[in-house]
């Protein structure tokens, strides 16, 4: 099989729930990323893209056949293949795996897009049949985001409670967790102010009827920490005696990420400029309470597949669902802190769930050119027990 490459990648600024992206139809956000992708790569034309794969967790309220909506709003050809996947929190990395498996013989290019508009996710109101089953005249409204994204069926509870259980098993302290939060947010702020996200973020413009317009080029989540300088004073969010707070939990966000995956034939024939070679991928499934260990094992498996030793990895990009996850992950793999999330992570950038995996990929590709290094791993630890890891090597 020929080599597979990441040839272009970008994302929108990630916006807080109810923020600027909540005002834009998600299909327009997807279309915008396609437009920016073609603008940024002069050697790429819409005719070269064979398929669009979209990852999305919260599809309610997006309308029918969302992938077709995006294609018909963008500059892509209407007859290209398309598909949507929902593999839980690992969706962003699974998109890369699906794309690699979908590449055909001869020149082949696939656009992989993760997109979430969590602001538009509806709540669920019980109908009469549900009320009858519950033997209740009234039933509580169920939050759609919690139910469809953060409910862990194995423990009949939500991801926050799961993380608290994992923290107790690993004997972390509130001091450990808060210290990691401040370190991660400091990295995110320094990277944002130093322009390190500028190449991966495409601008989003909102036109107002009176002729005014607003342009957004920055993430907004990390700025919320300025409003709570003393995070040690925050109350626990998930359990009365818990250690996790709003500061140590990644906030759901609106946003999208896009990566162009191509085979070696396409790179040569179309004159594409790859930024990374895809060298290994692994998924590991286990018990919910072992989800961080599953992430560590997936990392080891991806390295083995690529024939690379852990000591050869220059840096790691890990999704910070909670501040406890990177602390446990780095302990499992014995990773030095200066190799993990060098530009910060999801705590400061935000978590548009299906977009986050591709955001990790984008970050690696940009750091290859900015911070040096030739080998990196992106890992997502899924709260349902399924985790994924992707090994990338600089071209």
- Render pLDDT for 300-337 as a digit per residue (tens, 0 to 9): 999 999 999 999 999 999 999 999 999 999 999 999 98
CA distance 343 to 378: 13
Mean pLDDT of 111-134: 88
Predicted pLDDT of residue 382: 92
Tell me phi and psi for residue 78, to 5 degrees.
-70, -20
Q: How confident is the model at residue 129 (pLDDT cuts 50, 70, 90)?
A: confident
**Number of C-beta neighbours around residue 304 at 10 A:** 14
Q: How confident is the model at residue 131 (pLDDT cuts 50, 70, 90)?
A: confident
Check whether 1 has a pLDDT greater than 70: no
Predicted pLDDT of residue 210: 64
Q: In whole numbers, what is the pLDDT of the chain averaged over residues? A: 93
Share of the chain above pLDDT 90, in %: 83
More confident residue, 251 or 142: 251
CB burial readout 49-86, b (16+ within 10 A) else e: bbbbbbbbbbbeebeeebbebbbebbebeeebebebbb
Dump pLDDT digits (tens) for 7-51.
999 999 999 999 989 989 999 999 999 999 999 888 889 999 999
CA distance 91 to 114: 8
Dump pLDDT digits (tens) for 63-87.
999 999 999 999 899 999 999 999 9
Contacts of 364 (CB under 8 A, 6+ apart): 276, 315, 317, 376, 378, 392
Check whether 267 has a pLDDT greater than 70: yes
Instruction: Please report the domains of the chain, with CATH numbers, ordered by start residue.
Output: 279-394 (3.40.47.10)
Predicted pLDDT of residue 42: 83
- What is the DSSP pairing of strand 81-85 with strand 51-55? parallel
Predicted pLDDT of residue 141: 83
Among 118, 351, 147, residue whose Cα is nearest residue 250: 351
Residue recorded with tokens 């005696």: 241
Check whether 379 has a pLDDT greater than 90: yes
Predicted pLDDT of residue 136: 72
Predicted pLDDT of residue 384: 84
Q: How confident is the model at residue 130 (pLDDT cuts 50, 70, 90)?
A: confident
List the Cα angle 68/73/78 in 5-degree steps. Answer: 50
Mean pLDDT of 290-294: 96
């Amino acid at each position: 099989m020929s080599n597979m490459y990441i040839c272009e990648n970008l994302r929108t600024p990630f916006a807080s729930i109810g923020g600027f992206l909540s005002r834009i139809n998600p299909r327009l956000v997807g279309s915008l990323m396609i437009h920016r992708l073609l603008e940024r790569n002069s050697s790429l034309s819409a005719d070269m893209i064979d398929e669009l794969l979209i990852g999305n967790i919260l599809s309610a309220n997006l309308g029918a056949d969302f992938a077709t909506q995006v294609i018909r709003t963008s500059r892509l050809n209407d007859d290209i293949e398309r598909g949507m996947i929902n593999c839980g929190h690992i969706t962003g990395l699974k998109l890369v795996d699906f794309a690699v498996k979908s590449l055909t013989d001869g020149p082949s290019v696939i656009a992989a897009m993760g997109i979430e508009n969590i602001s538009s996710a509806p709540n669920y109101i019980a109908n009469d049949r549900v009320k009858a089953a519950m033997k209740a005249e009234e039933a509580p409204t169920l939050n759609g985001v919690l139910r469809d994204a953060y409910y862990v069926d194995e423990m009949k509870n939500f991801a926050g409670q799961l993380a608290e259980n994992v923290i107790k098993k690993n004997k972390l302290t509130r001091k450990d967790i808060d210290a990691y939060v401040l370190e991660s947010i400091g990295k995110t702020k320094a990277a944002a102010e130093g322009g390190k996200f500028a190449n991966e973020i495409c601008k989003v413009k909102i036109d107002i009827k009176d002729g005014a317009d607003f342009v957004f080029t920055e993430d907004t989540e990390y700025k919320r920490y300025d409003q709570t300088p003393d995070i040690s004073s925050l109350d626990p969010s998930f359990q009365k005696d818990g250690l996790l707070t709003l500061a140590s939990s990644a906030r759901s966000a609106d946003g999208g990420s896009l990566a162009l995956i191509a085979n070696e034939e396409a790179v040569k024939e179309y004159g594409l400029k790859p930024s990374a070679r895809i060298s290994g991928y692994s998924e590991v499934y286990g018990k919910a309470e072992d989800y961080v260990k599953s992430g560590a094992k997936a990392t080891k498996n991806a390295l083995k597949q690529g024939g690379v030793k852990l000591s050869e990895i220059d840096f790691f990009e890990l999704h910070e669902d909670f501040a406890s996850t990177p602390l446990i992950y780095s302990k499992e793999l014995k990773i030095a802190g200066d190799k993990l999330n060098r530009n910060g992570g999801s705590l400061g950038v935000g978590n548009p769930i299906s977009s986050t995996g591709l955001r990790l990929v984008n970050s690696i590709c940009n750091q290859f050119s900015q911070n040096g290094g030739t080998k990196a791993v992106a890992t997502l630890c899924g709260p349902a027990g399924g985790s994924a890891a992707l090994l990338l090597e600089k071209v």
